[in-house]
Structure 1
Amino acid sequence: MSELIKQETFEVAPEKLRTWQGRKEWFFNRDDTDHYEQYYEGPYKEQEVWQKKTLAGLIKQDDRVKTLLEFGCGTTRFTRWWHEIGLEATGGDISPFMLAQGVQLFGGDLVLADSHNMPFKDHSFDALAFVTTFEYYQNPVAVIREAVRVGKYGIIFGMMNRNTPKLIRRRVQQAFGKNNYYTTAHFYTPASLKDLVAEALPDRKYTIDWNATGLPKWFPKQQWKVPYGDFFGFHVKLLDV
């Protein structure tokens, strides 16, 4: 896969490191990006276990998928993990601050690029992955179309769910400037993401499968096909290739 990525030196103007899509984003703020890995190693670690189980259960149902490009890979938290379940993963991100950490943690290929214009030929990978990053795209339809151009067999999404009691907490934190991670995020449900995929891919044949997780510890199930929970995995499997 390394032949797909060229080594380049990126010189980015200071103002470009503060904004993207015409707005300030947390992933261009060192105060936020420097603590990203610590966030997963702290109270979020148990939720991460179930998120990975959910994503693995979906993507492994398509035995055509051997290679994967994760866009919005950040520090490569999940990019490293795809290898653990037998997938050859490459990472892409728009944030040089996140990738600067990623290159220290991940031995595979990484590319600094915009998800709306991925620097890869058609069908360079078997699948595309977006893990808690799709929520930040202002033109999600364009990103989906770009994803199926580069990913031959489909897309796997890991999403922060709008259908969760924690949505109120997220919005309160946002209103008081206590959590920069959610300031520009748009939260989806399985139903709203399904509608978005239909808008983006009107002429394609595909199936959709999803599972929700991120349920309270006391709850008898930690994964289910009910659209409630802090997180859901969502797999678009293309059939017309």
Structure 2
Amino acid sequence: MGLIFDGRSARLYETWYHSPQGRAMETLVTESIPALLEPQPGERILDVGCGEGNHLSLFDPSLYSLYGVDASPFIIRRAKERLGNRADLKVGWAEDLPFEDNEFDLVLFINTLEFLDDPLAALKEAGRVAKRSVFIGVTNSLSWYYLCTKMQRLLRKPFFDQFAFFNLWQLKSYIRAAYGSVPVQWRCSHIHAPLLERIPTLVSDQWHPERCPFGSFLGLCVPLRYTLRAAQDPLTVGLGKAKPSVVEGMTMGNFHRNRRPSGNERSLSL
């Protein structure tokens, strides 16, 4: 649970979203998603903390099945008015998603973790409902943009009062806690970085600004790996060595029905 948008906070967000800084940040989001996520046609995509559907609108509903969840009933109503039948939208908590295990191919957190009280619980839930990857996009706490936003806090800009920030190493720590040792792809995007644009000529042609962890927008893609696999073979028990207490009741009945005259191995269908 964290900040739940009402009419006032939604207006503050819209003001920021349509500001030059907000539009520049959205451009970085638009660049980062295809670069890291590589969605495939036919995949099911869930946006956690979908808001009014700004980021769901980046995907073609004719290619993907789109879903959104947000804790604010007010915001979900606004999103439904905007998106219509292009996405399936629900009210729900990021820390307790109202979906089945492995229901989606991709799960997105785009400027959502910043508003949550328990980001780790939300990431674990995303891992439960996602089959392929989890995408995390945040405002980088090691960026010039963060410093400017912090100044706005000091000047009592109310929208940023409950806004948390993360850096690459903090997010990697959360990812390890949520998913274990998994590979992480990441990139940083920059707003108004003339110095960074000059670095290639000053340092090396091998310089890649997106690999500098001080950009304004930080995007990470976490491919999910499952370390446990259920055995699909029937269990075979040697009755000559097994004691009656091993199996009881109906199970013993199955043993006797499946008894083979040529040996003492029994196949138990589970």
Q: TM-score range by the shorter chain?
A: 0.7 to 0.9
Change in 2 beyond 3 A, CA 1:36/1:185: closer
How far apart in 1 are the matches of 2:210 and 2:135? Answer: 17
Aligned residues: CA RMSD: 2.5
Q: Which whole-Å deviations, capped at 9, do the CAs of 1:50-86 have from their partners, x for residues lacking one?
A: 32111111010x6598111101000100011123794
Q: Structure 2: which amino acid aligns with 1:147? A: A
Residue number in structure 1 paired with 2:244:
none
Structure 1 runs (4+) greater than 4 angstroms displaced: 62-65
Change in 2 beyond 3 A, CA 1:29/1:50: same
1:87 to 64, 69, 75: 64
How far apart in 2 are the matches of 1:37 and 1:105? Answer: 14
Superposition deviation, residue 38 in structure 1 = 4.9
Any stretches of 5+ residues in structure 2 without a counterpart?
199-207, 228-270
Change in 2 beyond 3 A, CA 1:111/1:223: farther
How far apart in 2 are the matches of 1:192 and 1:159? Answer: 11
2:155 corresponds to 1:176? yes
Superposition deviation, residue 173 in structure 1 = 1.8
Is this contact kept in 1: 2:94–2:122, CA < 8 A? yes
Is this contact kept in 1: 2:49–2:109, CA < 8 A? yes
2:86 corresponds to 1:100? no
Q: 1 or 2 for the larger relative contact order (CA 8 Å, sep ≥6)?
A: 1
Aligned-pair identity (%)? 23
Residue number in structure 2 paired with 1:74:
51
More divergent stretch after superposition (94-103 vs 212-221): 212-221
Residue number in structure 2 paired with 1:55:
33
Change in 2 beyond 3 A, CA 1:144/1:80: same
Is this contact kept in 1: 2:24–2:191, CA < 8 A? no
Superposition deviation, residue 210 in structure 1 = 0.7
Q: Which whole-Å deviations, capped at 9, do the CAs of 1:184-221 have from their partners, x for residues lacking one?
A: 2221111210111101223xx53210111133153528
Residue number in structure 2 paired with 1:228:
214
More divergent stretch after superposition (81-90 vs 124-133): 81-90
Residue number in structure 1 paired with 2:168:
190
Residue number in structure 1 paired with 2:145:
166
Residue number in structure 2 paired with 1:7:
none
How far apart in 2 are the matches of 1:86 and 1:147? Answer: 22
Change in 2 beyond 3 A, CA 1:35/1:52: same
Change in 2 beyond 3 A, CA 1:87/1:38: farther
TM superposition score normalised by structure 1? 0.79
2:185 corresponds to 1:209? yes
Q: Which whole-Å deviations, capped at 9, do the CAs of 1:17-68 have from their partners, x for residues lacking one?
A: xxx55xxx3x4342230353453334132331232111111010x6598111
How far apart in 1 are the matches of 2:62 and 2:197? Answer: 26
Q: Structure 1: which amino acid aligns with 2:186? A: W
Is this contact kept in 1: 2:179–2:224, CA < 8 A? no
Residue number in structure 2 paired with 1:17:
none
How far apart in 2 are the matches of 1:214 and 1:32? Answer: 26
How far apart in 1 are the matches of 2:15 and 2:105? Answer: 31
